[in-house]
Structure 1
Amino acid sequence: MSVFSCAAFDGHEQVIFGHDPETGLKAIVALHSTVLGPGVGGCRMWAYPDEAAAVTDVLRLARGMTYKNAMAGLDFGGAKAVILGDARRDKTPAMMRAFGRFVESLAGRYITAEDVGIGTDDMAHVRRETGHVLGLAETSGDPSPFTALGVFLGIRAALAHARGSDELTGVTVAVQGLGHVGADLARRLHESGARLVVADIHRDATDRVAAATGARVVDPAVIHAEPVDVYAPCALGAVLNDRTIPEIKAGIVAGAANNQLAEPRHARMLADRGVLYAPDYVINAGGVINIAVEHGPAGYDVARATALVRGIGDTMSRIFAEAARTGRTTAEVADAMAEARIRAAAAKKKAADAA
């Protein structure tokens, strides 16, 4: 397949393929933009049906990281990595070390971290081969709780905008995907009085969350259509599409999944149906904010990371208010804010180069 003709290609600076026959590593790194700084984004391991699906995913994810890092006020560009394979079956320490060598070969243009299918223990193996890695257990650790915190605060901001109160008692939330982020989000919602409907492709995950929270378990294929107040997609992307949007009964869509909109036009489709959409790359930025603190000159400070993540709620409130004021979708407002910061940085860099 041609990367340049892929629908997800959006002026990406580089797309690099890595292969290590000895360990079975097949990986792709996409660098979307390094205008704001080195490309930062997690590494995802997933059993893609084919290489084309992996390329499409990594291109979309890398672009999302550019916007996420810009909106979070971080001096990082956008990048992402994917490893083709089943994380539960195929992943080995040797494979992760091979991935570390692949990252090292990019000479700091890409800084990796954990994502779906990859944890802090895997990053420890990567770290043996490269220093261009964040989210290590001995420093900032697993970013998932910070991602979940940001989503939790974003949900409360959405409730405040839509209902005039951020109170969760009696609110029903459908959480789709119970990995590290989804499970932590479910815990926070339950502790705040919300009723839960949950779904995951892994039965052990739903069993654990249901036992801890009393959540009702449904099939992942239909959870978007549940009669709930908030739908929180926390698994893979493209769940907001021509098929699902007409079936959504929730008044708010706010979750941790990346690239929730199958196409940009689906933001307008949601708005026209009266659904308040929390742009995914804004609400789910808690994890990258946390690891950015680790990368800073003062070193990691959990209190500082938490304080920065708490700003996500305020950012969401500004986006909702601006969308209501202008008639634009929340996605259009967020994109414009991120693009303004990127343009300003590009102009500043161009002026410095010309001096």
Structure 2
Amino acid sequence: MSGFPLRVLVLEDHSFQRLLAVSMLRQLGCSEVFEAADGAQALALLQEVGPVDIALCDLRMEGMDGLEFLQRVGDTRQVGSVILCSSLSADVRRSVRQIISLLGLEFLGDVGKPLCMEALQALLKKRLHAPATRCSPPPVPEVVQENEIRRALQAGQLQPYYQPKFDLGTGQVRGVEVLARWEHPSKGVLSPAAFMPLLERCGLLNELLFEQMEQALNLQRQVQSQGHALNMAFNLQAAQLANDELAPRIKALLTRHAAFGAGLTFELTESGLLQAPQTSIKNLVRLRMMGCCLAIDDFGAGFSSLQRLCVLPFTEIKLDAEFVRALRHEPRCQAAIASTLALGRALDMSVVIEGIETEEQRQQLLRLGCITGQGYLCARPMSGGQLLHWLGQQRICA
């Protein structure tokens, strides 16, 4: 059996289980295998032998438990990747996986108990062929100055990009979400993370929104001339919604373009609506009176979803992409998606599932009764010209 040039630490308090894990790793040809009976021993061992590539980690044990150990190594960067090996219930292990991710550690997999050599070997191969990148800190967006972002707005460098929403059964495009991208003259295309926080701090969100809407409504008219009816969805922040001038400006824009409100959707994250002031609610009602659709975005990622759905006049639920990512191996996520679809039907609201990237996910969602989705399986965000060409080619993702 070919070996793995990997240093592995086994953290397991049960002596037989620890012996079994060490034996399997050595049989699989790991270059160095270390063992510890609790977290404190493991930390002391790492001080002696240095960092390891993988920690094969139990969770519940006497002394320092596996969770505390992971917290410590998340700070010291002495472990590259983590494999969970625990008999705790699936829901507890799922929560620990979230913690591992938040700690900046790479999660390789969950082998459960009893330990299986084939499963362990597959994860070692995964680590070997896709080395962890977590040891390098994530890139920090470059600091952008206010005068630079203002010049970019004036020069038209902040451009709308369009990501389709599609019918999961037929592949037909049902609409697009309008996203901001900075076409920087020297740095290339920058994502919103590089500039949106500054735009919000400088009070420039509305300037960006209305510039996007001008271009998107012109594009919508071009798309209509090609025989496509395309709803345009724009993201709104809570601060914008609290502005008395928002709805009147949108109404004036629609009038100037001879466009209908029914062709627009405004997406709002539920986290921004925890305490919607009176002005915000009035703006939502006025947008609905104009015929616009309202979507609650990243549904399931906040804390007041059901209350917001009952109080505010939403017409669409956008389910957070995290549910789709866990769809294959998390029965609870399947149940959450099915329940959201049922809730949408009961409230007469459409449901859009975000983050669909594979054909397997599409098929699973169809079986659950989902109709509309969004994600890289259909298309990535694209410029207006690219969208026109894409639609002209009648590109179908089903």
- Relative to the length of structure 1, the TM-score reads 0.30
Which of the pair is proportionally richer in strand? Answer: 2
